[in-house]
Amino acid sequence: MNNIVSISIDGKEIKALKGENLVNVARDNGFHIPTLCYFKKLFPLATCRICTVNINGKNTTACTTKVDDGMEVKVNTDELLENRKAIIEMLFAEGNHFCPSCEKSGNCEMQNLGYIMGITHTRYPHLYREKPVDFTPHRMLMNSNRCILCKRCVEEIKTKDGKRVFSFVKRGNRTTVQIDYNEERKLTDNEAIHAMQICPVGAILVKGVSEGKPFGERKYDFLNKAIRPKLKRKKFELKEGEKFVVGTTSLAGCFGCHMSLLDIDEELLDMIEIVEFNKSPLTDIKRFSKRCHVGLIEGGCANEENVHVLRYFRENCDVLIAFGECAIMGGIPAMRNFVPLKETLEEAYLNGVTTVLGADVIPASEDIPKLLDKVYPINEVVDVDYYIPGCPPNAQHIWKVVKSILLNEEIPISHEEFKYD
Ligand code: SF4
Ligand code: SF4
């Protein structure tokens, strides 16, 4: 019996063994079908849907497809690429992914897909839902903020007597993964580490064992691929002797993004040839004295003054860029978003371990800007034209984007410059 079949992938004729998994056939023939839940030893789970392709005119998951004669497979149509991007963005918005403080950063499969797809931000509002972090298990801890419910751990991790250690509990959008403490105790150290490693994100951690490595030694730091995020460039007309005008500000951020901006070293000399700074902490100009071509915003909106400053920038800048994780998704300050504001203030000023014994005042004065109920990414307050991720963003990345917008040129960003942490 002839088991060899002919299929086509994005127009290329391919011979394959009948019944082979489509993801593997595609990979062996130079086509990358991204996946998150698919794991070589497991039967297909089809939970993440990222591998959706078009087969003979119908969209379906590649990980559940066995190749058969005459299949016409489309992997990289505009629609499919856009759908995959949207799924990743939704996963980021639905979970609480603070890459700068995540142990898996640099080794995370979802983060890497974000890089490959050139995702600079999510179009969907972040939910910031409070999710459990379970420290109770003997060896592991389970951080549901990062879990994408791929089910790999549920299906793969079993004790010697075949009992599951992980299971889904609750239903719908309240579903979480729970660890069975008794079964978890039966795992060997290596089995526990295996659970941490098969998790595509940083949801399962083993106490005392870190996957963290210095930048440059992590799995996805260098892929030698240029990233071409979509830039809305504008054609700016300058009169003889004029320079481009740039404004910058820091809202609820740490000023690290501004520090990174100055890190472009000798290219600062190129910068000042073509750019003059207007309202900015770099010039200490407090009010705009002219309209800016580009405004760079660091930090999210944590209080009323942040909102006021942000709107003032939007009114006075032709192109507004969010730079850094805090501006893009709230960043570290947004970690308070899971706690009611009253409780946050009481913890900070009355009950925290570092508060002075007997402290009984939460500062309040009309001179102190009122805190918002939560910290908002800036695109939830005004329209933003472009995003530069990172904590802080890489200096070259910042300058390439600003230059690309000002000079109306396409400047690719390298994989190692494009980071969320
Ligand atoms: S590194 Fe991965 S798991 Fe960790 S916060 Fe970022 S996306 Fe989430
Ligand atoms: S804990 Fe990790 S492996 Fe388990 S379902 Fe969540 S993301 Fe998948």
| Whole-number Å distance between alpha carbons of 243 and 320 | 18
Q: Which fold has domain 226-414?
A: Rossmann fold (3.40.50)
- Tell me the sheet residues that pair with 12: 9
Please tell me the distance between residue 186's alpha carbon and the centre of ligand 1 in angstroms. Answer: 28
Which ligand 2 atom is nearest residue 152's CA? Answer: 3
- The verdict on the CB of residue 146 being under 6 Å from ligand 2 is no
Q: Which ligand is nearest to the CA of 164?
A: 2
The confidence score (pLDDT) of residue 109 equals 96
Write out the E strands in 222-367: 226-227, 244-250, 275-277, 292-298, 301-303, 317-323
3-state SS assignment for residue 187 = coil
- Cα–ligand 2 centroid distance for 95 (angstroms): 12
> What span, in angstroms and rounded, lies between the C-alpha atoms of 85 and 79?
10
What tokens appear for 69 in the block? 């004669």
Which ligand 1 atom minimizes the distance to the CA of 101? 5
4-76 CATH choice from 3.30.360.10, 3.10.20.740, 3.40.50.11600, 3.40.50.1370: 3.10.20.740
CB 108 within 8 A of CB 102: yes
SS3 of 382-411: the string is: CCCCEEECCCCCCHHHHHHHHHHHHHCCCC
CB-ligand 2 contact for 110 (6 Å cutoff): no
For ligand 1, say whether the CB of 35 is within 6 Å of any of its atoms: no
Q: Which atom of ligand 2 is nearest the CA belonging to 204? A: 1
State whether the beta carbon of 152 lies less than 6 angstroms from ligand 1.
no
Q: What is the pLDDT of residue 39?
A: 80
Q: What integer pLDDT is reported at residue 158 of this predicted model?
A: 95
What integer pLDDT is reported at residue 1 of this predicted model? 56
For residue range 190-220, list pLDDT tens digits in order.
999 999 999 999 999 999 998 778 888 899 9
Whole-angstrom distance, CA of residue 11 vs CA of residue 15:
13
Residue 150 beta carbon below 6 angstroms from any ligand 2 atom: yes
Tell me the torsion sign for CA atoms 110, 113, 114, 115.
Answer: positive
Residue 235: the pLDDT is 83
For residue 377, whether the previous peptide bond is cis, meaning omega lies within 30 degrees of 0, is no
Ligand sitting nearest the alpha carbon of 106: 1
Cα-based distances in Å from 353 to 266, 317, 347: 45, 43, 8
Taking the complete model, does pTM exceed 0.85, yes or no?
Answer: yes
> Does residue 406's CB lie within 6 angstroms of at least one atom of ligand 1?
no
With a 6 Å cutoff on the Cβ, whether 153 touches ligand 2 is yes
Which is the closest atom of ligand 1 to the Cα of 92?
Answer: 7
The enclosing H or E element of 225 equals: none
For β-strands 133-134 and 140-143, DSSP reports them as antiparallel
Q: In the prediction, which pLDDT does 224 show?
A: 64
Alpha-carbon separation of residue 317 from 237, 264, 385 (angstroms): 15, 23, 11
The CA distance from 214 to 284, in Å, is 36
pLDDT digits (tens, 9 = 90+) for 100-142: 999 999 999 999 999 999 999 999 999 999 999 999 999 999 9
Q: Do 197 and 39 meet the contact criterion of CB atoms below 8 Å apart?
A: no
Q: Is the CB of 157 under 6 A from ligand 1?
A: no
- One-letter amino acid identity for 302? A
Q: For residues 167 and 177, is the Cβ–Cβ distance under 8 A?
A: yes
Q: In this predicted structure, what is the pLDDT of residue 357? A: 81
Any atom of ligand 2 within 6 Å of the Cβ of 245: no
145 Cβ closer than 6 Å to some ligand 1 atom: no
Buried/exposed code over 252-275 (b: 16+ C-beta within 10 A; e: otherwise): bbbebbbebbeebeeeeeebeeeb
Task: Find the length of the chain.
Answer: 421
pLDDT value at residue 215: 85
Ligand 2 atom closest to Cα of 149?
5
SS3 79: helix
pLDDT of residue 306: 98
Closest by CA position to 313, among listed 282, 287, 331, 281? 287
What is the location of CATH 3.40.50.700 in the chain? 226-414
Which residue spans of the chain are classified as CATH 3.10.20.740? 4-76
- Of 177, 203, 178, 193, which is closest to residue 102 (Cα–Cα)? 203
How far apart CA 306 and CA 113 sit, in angstroms, is 32
Pocket of ligand 1 contains residue 99 by CB under 6 Å: yes
pLDDT for 412: 86
Give the chain's residues under pLDDT 50. Answer: none
